[in-house]
Amino acid sequence: MPKKLIKRIMPDHHSIKTNKHLQLFGDLLHNPNLWHLNRRSIAKAFAVGLFFAFVPVPFQMILAAGLAIIVHANLPLSVALVWITNPLTMPAIFYFCYVVGTWILGVPEQEFSFHANWQWVIDSISSIGPAFLLGCAILGLIFSALGYFSIHFLWRYSVTKQWHKRKQKRQHK
C-alpha cells in the first residue's frame, strides 16, 4: 500500500518541526493536518514538492513548506520531494528544462559553460534565462500534475485491491 511505503521513507515530523529554517512558520507547523498520511494530503504533497523541485532557487524547501502549509499538504513529504533536484541530478534536470524552453520558444540552443559566480548568472539571464525559466515552469507544472493524479490513481487502486482481497477472504470462509 502506498501509505506504508511513504511512511517508511518520510522524514520524522519532529526533525522538521525543529528545523531552524522552518521556524519562521512558527505555530503553523503544529497543525496536525500537515502530518497526516491520507490520499489528499499525499497527492497535494507530491504536487507541491515536484513543482518546487523545478524552481531554480536555493531556498526551495522553504517555498515548498510555505505552500504545503497553505494548501494543507503533507509537510514532510512536500519538503523531501524537493530533493529530487540535488547536486547530482540538478545539471541533467535543468539542462532538460532549458531544452524544453528552447523548443517551446522556437529558439536555437546556445552553447554555454557553467561558471560558479554571480557574473555568469547575470550574463546568462539575458541569453539562456528565458528558455531555461520557461522550461522550468512548464516541466514543474507538468510533473506536479502528473504526481498529483498518479498518487490519486495509485492510492485508489491500492484501496480497491485491498477491498477485493478482503471480499475474497470473506467469501472463502
pLDDT, tens only, 5-14: 666 666 666 6
pLDDT, tens only, 54-66: 998 888 988 999 9
For residue 43, count other CB atoms closer than 10 A to its CB. 21
* Contact between 63 and 70 (Cβ < 8 Å): no
How is the chain split into domains, by residue range? 2-172
By C-alpha distance, which of 105, 35, 36, 34 is closest to 71? Answer: 34
pTM for the model stands at 0.78
| Residue 106 CA to its chain's centroid (Å) | 28
Output the pLDDT for position 138. 97
For residue 94, count other CB atoms closer than 10 A to its CB. 18
Q: In the chain, what is the straight-line distance between the N-terminal and C-terminal CA atoms, in Å? A: 24
Q: Is 59 helix (H, G, I), strand (E, B) or coil?
A: coil
User: Distance between CA atoms of 126 and 69, rounded to whole angstroms?
Assistant: 34
Q: Is the pLDDT of residue 19 over 80?
A: no
pLDDT, tens only, 127-168: 888 899 999 999 999 999 999 999 999 989 988 998 988 888
Angle, vertex CA 89, rays to CA 88 and CA 90, nearest 5: 100
> Taking residues 25-46, what's their average pLDDT?
80
Dihedral angle of Cα 52, 53, 54, 59, to the nearest 10 degrees: 60
Output the pLDDT for position 1. 47
